[in-house]
Amino acid sequence: MIIESSKIGDLPQIITVSRKTGVFSEEEVDTVDELFRGYLKSPVESGYNFLTAREGDKVVGYACWGPTALSKGAVDLYWICTASEAQGKGVANGLFEAVKEAARQAGRWIIVIWTSSRDEYQPARSFYLRMGCTQAAQLPDFYDRGDDLCVFYLKL
């Protein structure tokens, strides 16, 4: 597996990978598409960066991150997403390490993750804790009634 900056041709597979997780709503899939196009135009202007994990021609996962507005030190980690058929092979771990390295190279020192308290995000929340993140906050009913905001962070 190699992890590198995403290429223009990765988009269809990135969309497929997102869809097949079963966690993304169609609206969220559209958002991935939109952010990827912003990244292709200009990572700096759009504020979005994509990393692809690839095995041969196959996209087995991706990460999307970007510097946090108004912050000198933070990056937002928007998504880490592994292809359903590639689960359990350390793809997400590899992507998380790559985001840490990219954040460091961007001169930043804290990774911030906003995620949901919903059941389908339990694997994501467990993953961030395994990666050494701290849960900084849980804001009740933030996304919707019964759907809290969970904020995690990792100091580099």
Distance in Å, CB of 74 to a second copy, minimum:
5
Of 89 and 114, CB closest to a second copy: 114
DSSP 3-state assignment of 145?
coil
CA dist 152 and 53 (Å) reads: 23
Q: Indicate the SS3 state at residue 98.
A: helix
Q: For a second copy, give the closer residue by CB, 38 or 90.
A: 38
- Minimum distance of a second copy from residue 36's CB (angstroms): 17
User: Of 20 and 143, which has the nearer Cβ to a second copy?
Assistant: 143
Rounded to whole angstroms, how far apart are CA atoms 100 and 86? 21
Which residues here bind a second copy, judged by CB under 8 A?
A: 68, 70-74, 109-110, 112, 136-145, 149, 151, 153, 155
The distance of closest approach from Cβ of residue 154 to a second copy in the complex, given in angstroms and rounded to an integer, is 11
What DSSP string describes 41-70? H-HHHH--EEEEEEETTEEEEEEEEEEPTT
